[in-house]
Structure 1
Amino acid sequence: MKVLVAGAGLGGLCLAHGLLRAGVDVRVHEREDGPHSRYQGFRIALNAHGLAALHACLPERLHALLAAVSGPMAGERRVMDGQLREIRRLGAVDEGTATDRYVLRQLLLAGLGDRVEFGKPVVGYTERADGTVEAHFGDGTGAVGDLLVGADGVGSAVRRQLLPGAEVVTVPGNAVLGRTPLTERSAALVPGFGTVVHGTGASMLLGRMEFRRPPRLAAAELAPDVRLPDTGSYLRWVLMLPGALPAGPRAWDAVRDDLLAVLDGWHPDLVDLVRRADVVNSSPLTVRYAEPVPHWDGSRRVTLLGDAIHTMPPSGGQGANTALRDAALLARTLTAVQHGTAELPDAVEQYEQRMLEYGFAAVAESLERLPDFTPAR
C-alpha cells in the first residue's frame, strides 16, 4: 500500500511516522520550499491525546528527546486586568506538557528523509479507474497512490475538491502572535498554566515555554542524528483586538507601534513584552473555525485530517492535539489494511466517522471558550 500525504505539518508528519512503523510506503508532499522557510507558530499544549498519539507514532528512540525538549504546563489559570490585578481564577490544570511547534516539527522530520518532498503543493487530485488516486502538484507533476490524505491545513486544496461546500468562518477582530525571551521578570507573569489579561481595548493571552533542556543540546546527547534548532525559553503572548489591523503586508516595527498604542496605560511589564518581542517569531494571526460537516458519500481513496477538516480557534488548546489524534487513529486504521485484516474503503470510512465526531466536538468546545479570551467589542 502506498499513501500520499498533502502537507508536512504536525499531523501529516506524525501520520508518516505511524505508517512507516507499519511498513507502509508513505510520501509527504509539502508546499513550502524547505523545513525552515516559514514561521511555524508558538508554544502549544500537548494533552493526553496529543502525547499518546506522538508516542504511538514516533520511533521509541525519540521519546526521551520529546520529553527533554518539552516543558512544564500545570497550575492555576489566572484572569487579570491591564494593571495585573487579579479578576478571577479559571481553575487549576495539572496535565499535559508544553512544546514549541517549530521544535516539534523538526523532531517529526527526523528519520523521514526523502519521504518528505518540499516545494510540491498538492493542488488537486484525480481518482483513477484502477482504484488508485493521483495527486497533482503545482509544478504540473503528479504522484499515484492507494490513498491521498489531505493534511494541508485550513486552506486545504484537497478539502476544496472533496468537500466544496465545507465552510471556514473567520472570527471578527484580529490578533497578533508574539514571543519574548523568558526572563525572571516575564516568568512571573505566568506562575501557573497560563494568564489571561483583559485590559482597555484588548485582551492578552500569556503562556510560558520553558524547555526542560535546550533543544539543540538535548538532541546532541539523546539522538545525535537529529538536528534541532537553538531555540531558547520564551513567553508566548497573543494580543486579541476587537477591530482589524491595517490591511496589507507591514513591517513588524509598524505593527509593534500599533500594539504599543493599544497598550498605552497598561502595566509596564505587559508593555515590555511587546517592546522586546522576537521580530522573526511575531506576526498577525487570523482566528478561524470550520463549520461541522456530515460524513460524505463517495470517495474512499481521499480523506482529511487536522485543520484541513476541523480547524478551530486556539482558545481550547486542542487544534494540534486533535490533528495528532487524527494521525494516530488513521495510522492504526491503515496498519490493519497493511496487515490484511481490513479493507481500505471500510477502514477509511471508520476513521472518518470517529474523526468527525471528536474533531467537531473539539471545535464546539473551543468556540464555547473563545469569549473568555476575547475583548469586548
Structure 2
Amino acid sequence: MARRRLRVAVVGGGIGGLATAIGLRGHGAEVVVHEQAAELTGQGAGIAIGANGHRMLRELGVTAALEGSAVRPARAEFRNWRTGRTMALHQLAGSYEERFGAPYWTVERAAVQQALLHELGEAQVRPGARVSAVEQSADGAVIRFADGSEAEADAVVGADGIHSAVRNGVFGPDDAVFSGTSGYRALVPMERLGHVRELAEPVLWLWLGPGRHFIAYPVADGTLLNFLAVVPDREWTVESWATEGSATELLRAFEGWHPFVTEIIRASGRPGRWALYDREPQRAWSSGRVTLLGDAAHPMLPHHGQGANQALEDAVVLARILGGADTDEVEQALRTYELARRPRTRLLQRGSRQNATCFQLPDGPEADARNIRLASLPDDLAWIHGHDALTALQPETSGSSA
C-alpha cells in the first residue's frame, strides 16, 4: 500500500516559512503556507547572508535568482565613532569564501522573499489568513482562522515571527524581553551619497561608539545602502516594521559622530524605527504535531546578523527530518528537529545580547580591549559561518527522502 503524502500547514510567509515549504515539497510533502498579510511585501530593508545561510539557499535552489542583486562586500571594517580610525579590518571577498565554502552576501530582504516565493509558487500561499486557534488530535491538527475557515494537516509549523500566534496558542502567552534600545533602518539610494568617498567600493561598515552603533552595507547590486542604527531608548516600545522615525531625531542621537555616519542619516528621509525585543530561550518548540521555527522559536537581537540565516537553517533541517517521516512519525520527527536545532540557536540568542554591549562600550580601557579582540573575529565566529546545518545532522536523525 502506497504511503500517503504528508500534509503540512506552515503559518507565516516570511523567509523561514517559504523556505520550509520549498524544502518539505522537495521531500514529497503537500504544503500550504498561510500568511496573515494580504500580500508579501518583504519589509525590513537589508539582511546579511553568511556562508551558513547561503548553503541553505543553495540547497533550496534559489541562489541563482539572487546573484544579480546580492552584493559580495570586499571586507568588513570596524571604525571609531568619532575619528573614523579603522580598529579592525577583515577580508570577506575571496578569503572568507575559501575558508567557509560559500560567499558572504548583503541583500534586500524583499529580494530573498521574492526568490523563495517564485521557487515555491504563489499557488501554495494563502494570504489574508490570520490564525485564531490551533487544535490537535491523536492523528492530526486543525488551524482555525479569524474569517471562520480552517485547515487540517498532519503537522503545523509556526513560522510567524516574534509575536507568533501559533506559539501563543500552543504554549500560552509569554512576554517579549525589551532590550531598552531602538533600531532605525533605511535604504538610501547611492546617488544621494556620491560625495561620501568611502562608499566607492562595497564594504560592510561597523561604526562603534558609546551607547550606540551604526552598521551600513550596499544591497540591490550596489544601488542602495542599507543601514541599521541602534540607540538607547527606554520610552519607545513599538515593535513594528511599519513605524517611521525621522532623520532629524536620529541625527540628534548621533551628534558628534563622524561625517560618514551623519551624512548617511541626513540622506535617509524617514527611516523605519522599531523597538528591539527578543525572548528568553524556550524550553520546548514542539508540542504534539505542532512546532516552531525562526523568530517564533528563537527571536534574537540583530547584533549577530543571524536572524534570517537561522530561519533558513531551521527550515532545511526541519524539511530533511519531517519530510522523511510517515504520518504516524510526525511527533517524533518534530522532537528530533528541535533537539538538532535548539542548542545552536540558544547560543546565538545569548551572543546577540552580548554583542549589543560590546558594540556600545564607552571610550576607554574596555573599548581598547574589545578592539584588540576584534583582530581574532574570523576565528571567533567560525562556529557560526562555517556551520553546515545538514552535515551536522547525525545519519539516524536526518530522515529519508519521500
Q: TM-score surpassing 0.5? A: yes
Q: Name the SS of the counterpart of 1:51 in structure 2.
A: helix
Opposite residue 311 of structure 1, the aligned amino acid is P
Aligned residue number for residue 26 of structure 1: 31
Q: Distance in 2 between matches of 1:19 and 1:289?
A: 28
Q: Judge which range, 110-119 or 65-74, deviates more.
A: 65-74
- Distance verdict in 2 for CA 1:189–1:40, change over 3 Å: same
Match of 1:219 in 2: none
- Partner SS, residue 310 of structure 1: coil
Alignment partner for residue 255 of structure 1, among 231, 234, 246?
246
Letter in 2 for 1:204: F
Give the deviation of 1:202 after TM superposition: 3.8
Bigger Cα displacement from structure 2, 13-22 vs 177-186? 177-186
Distance apart, 1:19 and its partner CA: 1.5
Distance 1:27 1:274, change over 3 A: same
Distance 1:21 1:247, change over 3 A: closer
Give the match for residue 279 of structure 2.
290
Distance 1:299 1:241, change over 3 A: closer
Pairwise CA distance, 1:98: 1.6
Indicate the residue corresponding to 1:239 in structure 2: 229
Taking structure 1 as the reference length, the TM-score comes to 0.82
Q: Which residue of 2 aligns with 1:324?
A: 312
Partner of 1:97: 105
CA distance in 2, matches of 1:335, 1:239: 40
Residue 287 of structure 1: SS of its match in structure 2? strand
How many residues are paired up? 344
AA aligned to 1:89 is A
Q: Is the 8 A contact 1:242 1:375 kept in 2?
A: no
Q: CA RMSD in A?
A: 2.8
Partner secondary structure for residue 314 of structure 1: coil
- The alpha-carbon distance between structure 1 residues 29 and 165, as it changes in their structure 2 partners (threshold 3 A), is closer
Q: CA deviation at 1:9?
A: 0.4
Residue 399 of structure 2: aligned partner: none
Q: What is the aligned counterpart of 2:136 among 127, 136, 148?
A: 127
Which runs of 5 or more structure 2 residues have no equivalent in the other structure?
1-5, 98-103, 364-402
For 1:160 and 1:89, the matched residues in 2 are separated by: 43
The alignment partner of 1:312 has SS state of: coil
Query: Which of 95, 109, 118 does residue 127 from structure 2 map onto?
Result: 118
Q: Distance in 2 between matches of 1:325 and 1:310?
A: 12
Secondary structure at 2:180's aligned position in 1? coil
- Counterpart in the other structure of 1:155: 163
Q: Name the TM-score, length of structure 2 as normaliser.
A: 0.77
Corresponding residue for residue 76 of structure 2: 76
Q: Is the Cα–Cα contact under 8 Å of residues 207 and 213 in structure 2 kept in the other structure?
A: yes
> What is the one-letter code of the residue matched to 1:75?
R
**In the alignment, residue 80 of structure 2 is paired with which amino acid?**
M
Q: Partners of 1:107 and 1:150 in 2: how far apart?
A: 21
Q: 2:21 aligns with which of 7, 12, 16?
A: 16
C-alpha distance in structure 1 between counterparts of 2:197 and 2:349, whole Å: 30
Query: Where in structure 1 are there 5+ consecutive unaligned residues?
Result: 212-231
Counterparts of 1:263-302 in structure 2, within 5 Å, are: 263-277=254-268, 279=270, 282-295=271-284, 299-302=287-290
**CA distance in structure 2 between the partners assigned to 1:357 and 1:247 by the alignment:** 29
Deviation (angstroms), 1:31: 1.1
**2:297 partner SS:** helix
CA distance in 1, matches of 2:319, 2:58: 12
CA distance in 1, matches of 2:67, 2:247: 34
The Cα of 1:236 is off from its aligned counterpart by 1.4
Q: Are 2:66 and 2:111, in contact at CA under 8 Å, matched by a contact in 1?
A: no
CA distance in 2, matches of 1:187, 1:4: 49
Aligned pair in 2 of structure 1 residues 33, 354: CA closer, same or farther (>3 Å)?
same
- 1:309 corresponds, among 275, 293, 297, to 297
* Distance change in 2, residues 1:374/1:288 (3 Å): farther
Counterpart code for 2:66 = L
SS at match of 1:172: strand
In the TM superposition, what is the alpha-carbon distance from 1:139 to its structure 2 partner? 1.6
Say if 1:276 and 1:27 are closer, same or farther in 2 by CA, change over 3 A.
Answer: same
Deviations 1:235-280 (A, max 9, x none): 111222122466779985x62221223334433342221222164x
1:180, CA displacement in angstroms? 1.2
Q: Are the counterparts in 2 of residues 240 and 375 from structure 1 also a CA contact under 8 Å?
A: no
